[in-house]
Amino acid sequence: MTGVDRVLAKAVMELIISIELTDDEDIDPDIATTIVEPVGYLLNNVSSDVRQELIRLFREVAEEEEGPERRSMATEFPEAMGLVASEQDG
């Protein structure tokens, strides 16, 4: 993947994390879901090779997060978006 892919991966992750960290009073949870669900759908309907590259990119950009809460969410982003199966899933 190119540098553009990395920038887009970071942008997607930053956007989703920002939405998740926003108070319910600032953004309606239904609207937040309406924004986030299509992104998750798109991320989960890629080839295995693209999925692995996205996981790598998301993990790479997560290391750049400086705030503890954002870094924690960024580190868990591939799992939260369903790119990585949880241990419970199998």
pLDDT given for residue 81 in this prediction: 92
Residue 68: domain span: 3-82
pLDDT of residue 87: 45
pLDDT at res. 90: 43
24, part of any domain? yes
Note the pTM of the prediction, 2 decimals: 0.83
34 located within any domain: yes
Instruction: Say if 77 falls within a structural domain.
Output: yes
DSSP 23-82: -TTTS-HHHHHHHHHHHHHHHHTS-HHHHHHHHHHHHHHHTT--SHHHHHHHHTHHHHTT
What total of structural domains would you count in the chain?
1
Q: Is residue 90 in some structural domain?
A: no
In a domain, 36, yes or no: yes
One digit per residue, the tens of pLDDT, for the chain of length 90 reads 578 998 999 999 999 999 999 999 999 999 999 999 999 999 989 999 999 999 999 999 999 999 999 999 999 999 999 998 754 444
